[in-house]
Chains A and B, each alone.
Chain A
């Protein structure tokens, strides 16, 4: 795997391979010495054209645990705010000697442009582009589900038949899109629940069930309920009358949470707005995987960096002989 641009491009085998490598990475994170020498001497650039705290820190931790050098580049206060193009930024990074680029960009498709341009010869990892995809978030969500459902026997397993309900701001959510493609590839069934204004117009073409009523969806006793954040920074018009009404109709309140079976997982990609889309009772319950998702994010990103930054396709496989 050279680049990770979307989960739509991943085959079932590739996806399971990433999750299995993440299991090994996660094991190493339980040790006293958490650092591995694998990417020693390589440089990872975190190229963030959009605000992010947890994703950037997670990628930075992942790269550092693999002994790579990390350069953080935030568009604010950089030459980009002076009008530099993506091409010139990329060529500057190439001149510095970047081996891997983790990019977040407000424009959908920017990571694909960077990967296919020839401006820079580095592995490109999409850390969220516009309303397109956020593949590592979907991978860490799938990893978290697989671990909770299969425990120590997770390796090699998919999510066949797992029923996932994704609730909230679907139209602005790259997390929802990445999750949809990955979960379908892994055999799970996805239901989107949102007010019609927060669903994309082409949602009918997606391999998902669509509902407008959260109580109906929860009555079907799903295995996983994933709440999404209301992305007010992307909302330039009124998508619902007011936050209180949204919360009453589509928030995971204490009452709704109490109707869920004890085995159902409550997930949230963060940052969560308590009291709007999720209540304290649900977020702090033992069924909630929210902090596990953060911890698993480092392992999954280590796996992605490892797979995209090592290996040369030209070399001959002589693995048995070298062993």
Chain B
């Protein structure tokens, strides 16, 4: 088991700053943005993105970040130990007609995002849904791709990608274990 750090704190910050600019560029401003993080680390990343966005675009709505738990929408519930759902919280103004950006740490099979799209469908009808991820490691099992990617990390399925963030893990890095 050897672990190799591929992104450090400064790299993660730079990637998030770039993604924030790309989000504003593609949405032509931040007035109808909603950032929905997928627990646990996606929520942390969504909050960080919102903080950066506020610095760039002071007119951003106050209530822009939410959490979207997808446990109840997964297709693999029978194949893993029972998962404990996390709270879902949606900004009070709702998601109808808004630009929703899903935020997650690692994009792998795409099944989590498939579940997230189903969950969104039960909550409302956004104008458009985009996907932002810190790391895209490939090996998609569904026709899903990210609109905003922090780092493309070609990996083998036998390797493990670990995203650790200060808020959840006390350290900040992305590493590959093989």
> B42 to chain A: which residues have CB within 8 Å?
323
Give the chain A neighbours of B82 by CB distance below 8 A.
1, 306-307, 310-311
Stretch among B8-16, B21-29, B83-91 lining the A interface? B83-91
CB–CB A310/B88 < 8 A: no
Question: Once the chains are docked, how many angstroms separate the CA of A313 from the CA of B82?
Answer: 8
Pair B80/A17 contact, Cβ less than 8 Å: no
Which range contains the number of A residues in contact with the other chain? Answer: 20 to 34
Distance between Cα atoms of A17 and B82 in the complex (Å) = 11
- What are the residues of chain B within 8 A of A315 when measuring CB–CB? 79-81
Query: By the criterion CB–CB under 8 Å, are B108 and A321 in contact?
Result: yes
Q: CB-defined interface of A112-141 with B at 8 Å, one 1/0 digit per residue? A: 000000000000000000000000000000
B117: interface (CB < 8 Å): no
Say yes or no for B111: interface residue by CB 8 A criterion.
yes
Q: Count A-B pairs with CB separation below 8 Å.
A: 78
Asked if A33 lies at the interface with its beta carbon under 8 angstroms from chain B, I say yes
How far does the alpha carbon of A66 sit from the alpha carbon of B71 in the complex, in Å? 12
Given A311-B82, A321-B161, A323-B106, residue A38 in contact with residue B77 (CB < 8 A): yes
Q: Which residue of B lies closest to A40 (CB)?
A: B75
Whether B17 is near chain A, meaning CB under 8 Å from some CB there, is no
Query: How many interface residues does B have (CB within 8 Å)?
Result: 32
CA distance A311 to B108 in the complex (A): 21
Contact of B160 with A by CB under 8 A = yes
**Nearest CB of chain A from residue B40's CB, rounded to whole Å:** 8
Contacts of B108 in A (CB 8 A): 321-323
A14 CB to closest chain B CB (Å) equals 11
A34 nearest in chain B by CB position: B122
Produce 1/0 per residue, B25-60, CB < 8 A to A: 000000000000010011000000000000000000
Q: How far is the CA of A318 from the CA of B79 in the complex (A)?
A: 11
Does B136 belong to the interface (CB within 8 Å)?
Answer: no
A236 to B65, CA, bound (A): 61
The minimal Cβ–Cβ distance linking B82 to chain A, given in whole angstroms, is 3
Please measure, in the bound complex, the distance between the C-alpha atom of A1 and the C-alpha atom of B109, giving whole angstroms.
28
Residues of A within 8 A of B (CB): 1, 17, 20-21, 23-24, 27-28, 31, 33, 35-38, 66, 155, 306-307, 310-313, 315-323
Q: Which residues of B contact A (CB under 8 A)?
A: 38, 41-42, 69, 72-73, 76-88, 104-106, 108-109, 111-112, 118, 122-123, 160-162
The 8 residue pairs across chains A and B that have the minimum distance between CB atoms? A311-B82, A310-B77, A33-B122, A36-B72, A38-B72, A24-B85, A315-B80, A311-B81
12 additional A-B residue pairs with CB within 8 Å, beyond A317-B80, A321-B108, A323-B38:
A23-B87, A24-B88, A28-B72, A31-B123, A33-B122, A33-B123, A310-B78, A311-B82, A312-B81, A320-B162, A321-B161, A323-B112
